Amino acid sequence: MNLKTVGMISSYRNLDQRGDWLWQQTPHQFGLWGNIKMQALAPQPDFLLMYQYDFPKKPQPQSLIDKLRKKLQKPNVDVSSRLRGVPKERIIYLLREPPLEEVVEKNKHYYQVATKYCGYISGPDDFAPVPDYMPAIWYHNNSFQELNEMPVPEKVAPCSWITSGINRTANHRQRLQFLESLQNHQIKFDLYGRNLPVSAKSRGELGNKWHGMAPYYYNLSIENYAENSWYVSEKLWDALLAWCLPIYYGGSAADKLLPPGSFLRLPSLDEKGIAYIQEVTATPDAWYAAKDAIAEARQIILHKLNLLNWLSEFVTKFS
């Protein structure tokens, strides 16, 4: 088989842009999956993935002081110089962030600029050139084979939530308010994450999300955005791969992608939602009832929704 190399560039600050990016998402060595090999830093790849790449912003009217400052700054990187000679039809642009009100115009700008460089442009919103869900990546350090073949880890605690203290949008602030309400109601769950308020009683940031999920029956998987039928993030994949039953707050994309019963729907981020969490997490009964559905969902995530599988299927169209 003639393997095609896929390179990658991104502006996403939480993404580890190293030579072995995504290698943990395949059972094979060196990032191989089907007809591709994922080599993020390849100097001359056959295909290039622009993953949440932030194109330069629209030029704004500048004052004399702004113009002087610009002259002192380093010039913007020429986008074309980062494309490594890959032809337009083989460049893929995937936007992974949700269409929050505060960033919609920025995302639309990225899509518009991407048409100059990319043959395929997609994102989890209705105004993307190709509206679609985000192919799955996950943030456990375990190997693909470990995740694929492992028995159910020992469950010893009821519920966890891994989140952050980001508050730059109204949706982020709503999530933090819900967190405060949960703790004020003394709902039993373990909280992990970075930059959380001191009042949040967090157990701290984790080096490996597995440690904050695998020992728990349930995980609170609460998206920053739940208003369309496209957006679903790693919050759901990570919980299921750790054999948690997610108590999920998000849009309807999850219903299309995963088997019935593999996650629970949190009805709302209010008193009703708090009561639901309290009732469900009081016993492991719901987890035991969902165990087979969780097993099925894990196989779908690992083998079908996997970003490497998506890239392999995309490359197949050119053969």
Residue of 317, 318, 313, 319 whose CA lies nearest to 34: 313
Supply the pLDDT for residue 67.
56
Supply the pLDDT for residue 60.
53
Q: Above 90 in pLDDT, residue 158? A: yes
For the domain covering 144-304, report its CATH number: 3.40.50.11660
Model confidence band, residue 73 (pLDDT cutoffs 50, 70, 90): low
Q: Above 90 in pLDDT, residue 63? A: no
Q: Above 80 in pLDDT, residue 57? A: no
Angle between helices 285-300 and 234-241 (to 10 degrees): 110
Residue of 277, 223, 216 whose CA lies nearest to 241: 216
This prediction's pTM: 0.92
Strand order in the sheet with 47-51: 32-33, 36-38, 4-10, 47-51, 91-94, 120-123, 130-131
Task: Report the chain's mean pLDDT, rounded to a whole number.
Answer: 93
Taking CA atoms, 235 is separated from 8, 44, 136, 286, in Å, by 22, 33, 10, 19
Model confidence band, residue 194 (pLDDT cutoffs 50, 70, 90): very high
Domain extents in the chain: 4-132, 144-304
How far apart are alpha carbons 93 and 97 in whole angstroms?
12
Model confidence band, residue 70 (pLDDT cutoffs 50, 70, 90): low
Give me 168's structure tokens. Answer: 């730059």
Supply the pLDDT for residue 202.
93
Q: Which residues contact 228 (CB under 8 A, 6 or more apart)?
A: 99, 124, 125, 126, 251, 253
How far apart are alpha carbons 217 and 239 in whole angstroms?
10
Supply the pLDDT for residue 318.
87
Percent of the chain with pLDDT over 90: 87
Q: Above 70 in pLDDT, residue 309? A: yes
Give the residue-averaged pLDDT of 96-123: 96
Supply the pLDDT for residue 77.
66
Express each pLDDT in 233-292 by its tens digit. 999 999 999 999 999 999 999 999 999 999 999 999 999 999 999 999 999 999 999 999
Give the residue-averaged pLDDT of 150-176: 95
Q: Above 80 in pLDDT, residue 23? A: yes
Give the residue-averaged pLDDT of 189-213: 94
